[in-house]
Amino acid sequence: MIGFKLPARNLRRHGRRSLYAGTIIAVTLAALGLFDGFSNYMYSTVEELLIYSSTEGHVLISRPAFARSDFSDIEQTLIPAATAADLMAELAEDPRVVLTAPQLRVAGLMSNGNVSVPFRANGVRYADQRRIFELARGPVRLMVQRELDRPLPPVYGAALGRGLAQILGLEVGDTAMALTATIDGHINALDVEVSSVFTVPQAELSSLLATLSLEHAQALYDTQAVDRIAVVLQRGIDAQAFAGELQARLDAAGTDLKAQDWRTRDPLYESVKRLFDTIFSFMFVIVVVIVGLSVTITVGMSITERTRELGAMRALGLTQFGLVRLIAVECVALATISSAIGGILFVLGGMLVERLNVYWLPPLFLTPLPIRIDGNATHVAIIGLALIGLTGVAGAVAALRAARRSIVDALGYH
């Protein structure tokens, strides 16, 4: 019978190294989970921005010419009033639809009587715009709250980009004149009252953009038609599936109208998602390398100090494969406990971020947004399983060298 007792000093070293490896795993899981939660928060914010802040809803119905229109062929983009009315009446009967909002783009000149500059405006019913803004959540709701706090603008009211208002020297309450050519080619002009001024990140757009009521936009073009219909759905409805179903109905009716879901019509969401997914992937690879090396080195040093203990086990009948499996199981157990602690750190980290209420200004946003963590338990569990598997493999690799040593050498008998 072979007797063996691991020195207390080695036990302490082994404990410290296990604590070190476990700390790395726990902190890694918490950090990756927090970044994943922040990425999810940005995804949902951009989604709310594209659907609600833009007032273009989950699905946009338009003619093919609308996407490539440069305002030189307005007539080719128009949906006849009767067609739009029938379509909106049909959609209103669908329980999945919250709201349909007809809209019309306008291009022309804005004048204060002395200076005239080009402008481009979106014509929307102000009641529809208010309703869509009210449906927004999270940071986007904060962005549109200022508009919600204002009284509903009159039909002749107009919101001007800050740059456009500054060029014309206009303030809220001032009157300007909008001039454009009608569908028939006649010059038309209508007075508008500045109801609000909004800010746009790009200076060029700030000096160009405006918002008019749909009624005023139609009056400028002398038409009852619209160029698109925004469809706002109940939350949780698959917009892509709804757009596909709606497109089939439009095709069956023999129209040339196209239905596009919000992801298809605007590449911003996919761009943001690819950006954060790339960053996360890059971080994950770096972390995997660091964790793998740390665990391999830590387990290797621990095994070196436990050489005689492992040799005694081999002498008692433990096979090489059994030794590797034993070390791997120890590493998996350590990683499992550490991942559970990392999950707790992740929850506490999310609560801390919420409590600190830190704000930041993302690109393309005008209002500082609070930093939030939209945690996903499934993603955190996948990260934890990946770290557990990685630790088990690293432990097995480190144990291979010890398994190859002869029993006599491991016991220190030469």
Helix (H) or strand (E) holding 10: helix 8-48
Q: How many beta carbons lie within 10 A of that of residue 309, not counting itself?
A: 17
Phi–psi pair at 172, nearest 5 degrees: -60, 130
CA–CA separation, 330 and 241 (whole Å): 48
Q: Is 115 helix (H, G, I), strand (E, B) or coil?
A: coil
Phi–psi pair at 253, nearest 5 degrees: -80, -5
Instruction: Assess contact for 233 and 241: CB atoms under 8 A.
Output: no
CA–CA separation, 45 and 273 (whole Å): 11
Radius of gyration of the chain (CA): 32
The pTM (predicted TM-score) of the whole model is 0.80
Neighbouring residues of 362: CB distance < 8 A, sequence distance ≥ 6? 42, 369
Residue ranges of E strands in 300-413: 359-360, 369-370
Tell me the domain boundaries of the chain.
8-47+270-411, 55-265
DSSP assignment, residue 324? H
Q: Minimal CA–CA distance to 393: which of 322, 295, 312? A: 295
Q: Is 365 helix (H, G, I), strand (E, B) or coil?
A: coil
DSSP assignment, residue 79? B
- Going residue by residue through the chain, which has 414 residues, state the pLDDT in tens, using 9 for 90 and above: 334 444 555 556 666 777 888 888 899 999 999 999 999 998 998 899 899 988 999 999 999 888 776 666 788 889 999 999 999 999 999 999 999 999 999 999 999 988 899 999 999 999 999 999 999 998 888 888 888 888 899 999 999 998 999 999 999 999 999 999 888 888 899 999 999 998 876 767 788 999 999 999 999 999 999 999 999 999 999 999 999 999 999 999 889 899 999 998 888 888 888 888 898 888 888 888 887 787 777 776 766 666 666 666 656 666 767 777 877 888 889 899 999 999 999 999 999 998 988 888 776 666 777 888 998 999 999 999 998 998 888 888 777 766 555 555 555 544
For residue 187, give both structure tokens: 């010059």
Q: Is 13 helix (H, G, I), strand (E, B) or coil?
A: helix
CA–CA separation, 80 and 196 (whole Å): 30
